[in-house]
Structure 1
Amino acid sequence: MTFTGPLSNRYTDLVGIVHPIVQEGLGPFRTSKLAAAVSSAGGLGTVSMPGMPADLDAGARTFREHIDECASLTDKPFAVNIPVGVDGNGVVLPFTDVYIRTVLSARRADSTLAKQLTVMTTSAGFPGDYISMIKNAGMVHQHKVGSTHQAVKAADAGVDVVIAAGFEMGGHAPSKAVHSYVLLPSVTEAVDIPVLLTGGARDARGLASALSMGADGVAMGTRFIASTSNSDWHPAYVKAILDATEGDDVAFDGVYGPCRGLRNAASLMLTNHQDEGGEIRDAVELTRWKIESMQRAQTDGDIVGGLVLTGQVASAIHDIIDIAEFVPRMAAGAADILRRLAASFPATTPARA
């Protein structure tokens, strides 16, 4: 079914939404309520994977609970986001396999859910053999990339959509460290599948700009955290975003590579390559500490000792939005900007004498 909005395009037609506005994957957090709100508003919400627990079966059950919660809160399409983690030898980590299979199994077991859970976003490592697995299951496959080379590789391998991730994005940022205004035009020139921009967008102007550079839509994370529809984040976390000013963010060593969040005791410990309490952790222990620290900031509001993931755009966000009103207004505003710009130039350029 095709839904018509002011910016309907090949991407909205592909995923069955009204507005080309996507809520980013925001793991390792619970994002089911936020995802449902964005989808109900005509965008595409995303349920994030719940982390890397020692008991992966328990993690899979938690993930399924979050998916079912989102489906119970909206009757619109929504996505899931699963990072592709790899070890030092390039072997995919078990949690990725378990979570992808959890999603595919949930769709097979529930035909009603399958009509809503229609999009899978992968990020971090290259999805490889999972591309055909996702495609054969009938899902739209989006893959996040941080370079033009990665975009071409993903498109050639058969993904349906690429998400071009500018280095200013929050959470796990691309290791190539290319910013949106450089990366996006190069990616849209290089592939002929739909492209979304993630990193730096917060309103109609960002969406209009992305469309002008050839993108088919935008994905946002930080903007959606500061919303009345969102009870997934602790109020202290939201306030930290609202209080952030330019320069308050920092890139540090995350789980899959660079990560961006607010400058605090936890992130500075990582940027200075120091261990909490002066004790040396092995790689696995340190990874679990990072994930638990991210979750503690979200759920408990520990914005000093926890990792507060956010993009640079936090410095420009000062208000709490209502998602149901914001998403269609953002799309309509972007369409209006593009119409005004088109009307401001003459239809033809007079030839010089």
Structure 2
Amino acid sequence: MTSMWERYRDMLGISHPIVQDGMGPQPTTMLATAVSNAGGLGSISSPSIVNTSETYLRDGFRAAIEYIAAHTDAPFAVNVPVGRVASGELLPVSETCISEAIAAKRDGGKVGNQLVALTTSAGYPGEFIATIQAAGLIHQAKVGSVRHAIKARDAGTDVIIASGYEMGGHTHVNGVHTMVLAPQVIERLNCPVIVSGGLCDGRGLAAMLAMGAAGIAMGTRFIATVEHEWHERYKQRVVDTPEWGDQVFQGVYAPCRGLKNPGLEKLPEALRSKTPDEFQEWEEGEMRRAMREGDIENGLLPGGQVAAALTDMPTVAELIERIVRDAADLLGGAAATAEQLRLGRVTTAA
């Protein structure tokens, strides 16, 4: 019987069941390249989530796509947050990035061959799913509830990324944690399900594969890697985060989980005094301040709860190799335990 991981591997052509989550607004181009080169699925992040010029968005997004295609021969993906105005129409920034990814795929060549998937997050891209797939892209939808997973699958989405509330960055209004969400989504859907939120090592990968998932997606764990292009102070701050060192705060599309710092004290005043458009621009600027300039005291620091579990900053290749090796060892040991369970030979200690 073909496992969901095998189905996913054959769909995308990757070697390991590890996906890099989108992590804008600061670029993740070099990180995505390293992840794809190491056998996972690297993901280019949207260059902006505010209403900036269409030319800037289009040129910046295409440049990132062409960069990764020039620096790896492996498959990769793009991630586009989906936001909507009050009337329900897609935000121009979301539509521009989706359209540019489709254009890059249709243009063919090395770029078109290696760009294999488009991941949408933060909202529902219903009217674009058929167009994404018609271009030859696998559509992956990142969701935070069973009902949204079913809705996306019923609309034709190829792959569901089930994202638990402990994830970093923009999270969910009605939070469901990974170990509650993942088994329900996997049980209800007959398609590859990638699990995201709180995962960072071989234990997490082994648990999700044993549960029937196709693999895992990680964001915060990939921040703290050698190749990631964000500022070294930000990366080290992720490693240094203590238990209870994260907080959920108001974000552009939805609540956002980040690391506690004095910069969060500015949020109430920004929310009170700024229009929604002004707040979006301010929030992205504060995130960029930390990611680009390394101002980890005054900027905003998107990051997941799993930061408290991180202790090192390996290369991407070292990290992926370690996760896959440890997961294989754990699953091998679990297979022996499973056989004992089937034979009724497991006993509890006195």
Superposed pair shares fold, TM > 0.5: yes
Q: How much does 1:320 deviate?
A: 0.8
- C-alpha separation in 2, matches of 1:84 and 1:65: 21
Worse-matched range after superposition: 206-215 or 188-197: 206-215
- C-alpha separation in 1, matches of 2:73 and 2:265: 42
- C-alpha separation in 2, matches of 1:93 and 1:109: 24
What is the aligned residue count?
341
- C-alpha separation in 1, matches of 2:9 and 2:168: 24
Partner of 2:206: 208
Given the two structures, how large is their TM-score scaled by the length of structure 2? 0.94
| Structure 2: 5+ residue stretches without partners | 346-350
- C-alpha separation in 2, matches of 1:53 and 1:298: 20
Partner of 1:3: none
Partner of 2:270: 275
Q: How do 1:267-306 and structure 2 match up within 5 A?
A: 267-270=264-267, 273-275=268-270, 280-306=273-299
Q: Secondary structure at the match of 2:343?
A: coil
* C-alpha distance after superposition, 1:16-74 (max 9, x if no partner): 00101000000112111000000000000000000135212112111111111111211
1:228/1:68 Cα in 2 relative to 1: closer, same or farther (>3 Å)? same
1:84 corresponds to 2:78: no
Q: How do 1:126-145 and structure 2 match up within 5 A?
A: 126-145=124-143
Q: How do 1:111-260 and structure 2 match up within 5 A?
A: 111-230=109-228, 232-260=229-257
1:18 to 15, 30, 34: 15
Q: Is the 8 A contact 2:52 2:93 kept in 1?
A: no
- C-alpha separation in 1, matches of 2:307 and 2:219: 10
Partner of 2:305: 312
Q: Is the 8 A contact 1:251 1:260 kept in 2?
A: yes
Amino acid aligned to 1:303: I
Q: Is the 8 A contact 2:4 2:192 kept in 1?
A: no
Partner of 2:59: 61
Q: Is the 8 A contact 1:35 1:44 kept in 2?
A: yes
Amino acid aligned to 1:93: L
Q: Is the 8 A contact 2:5 2:215 kept in 1?
A: no
- C-alpha separation in 1, matches of 2:4 and 2:320: 12
1:268/1:209 Cα in 2 relative to 1: closer, same or farther (>3 Å)? farther
Identity percentage of aligned residues: 45
Given the two structures, how large is their TM-score scaled by the length of structure 1? 0.93
1:344 corresponds to 2:337: yes
Q: How much does 1:175 deviate?
A: 1.8
- C-alpha separation in 2, matches of 1:180 and 1:337: 20
Worse-matched range after superposition: 219-228 or 340-349: 340-349
Q: Secondary structure at the match of 2:208?
A: helix
Q: How do 1:43-54 and structure 2 match up within 5 A?
A: 43-51=40-48, 52-54=50-52
Amino acid aligned to 1:47: I
- C-alpha separation in 2, matches of 1:148 and 1:104: 28
Q: Secondary structure at the match of 1:294?
A: helix
Amino acid aligned to 2:166: E
Amino acid aligned to 1:197: V
Q: Is the 8 A contact 2:4 2:214 kept in 1?
A: no
Q: Is the 8 A contact 2:195 2:216 kept in 1?
A: yes
Q: How much does 1:347 deviate?
A: 6.0
* C-alpha distance after superposition, 1:191-248 (max 9, x if no partner): 1110011101100001111122221100001111111222x11011011111100111
Q: Secondary structure at the match of 2:234?
A: helix
* C-alpha distance after superposition, 1:50-103 (max 9, x if no partner): 013521211211111111111121110000000111112322111111111111
Q: Is the 8 A contact 2:171 2:257 kept in 1?
A: yes
RMSD of aligned C-alpha atoms?
A: 1.7
- C-alpha separation in 2, matches of 1:283 and 1:344: 54
Amino acid aligned to 2:276: A
Q: Secondary structure at the match of 1:71?
A: helix
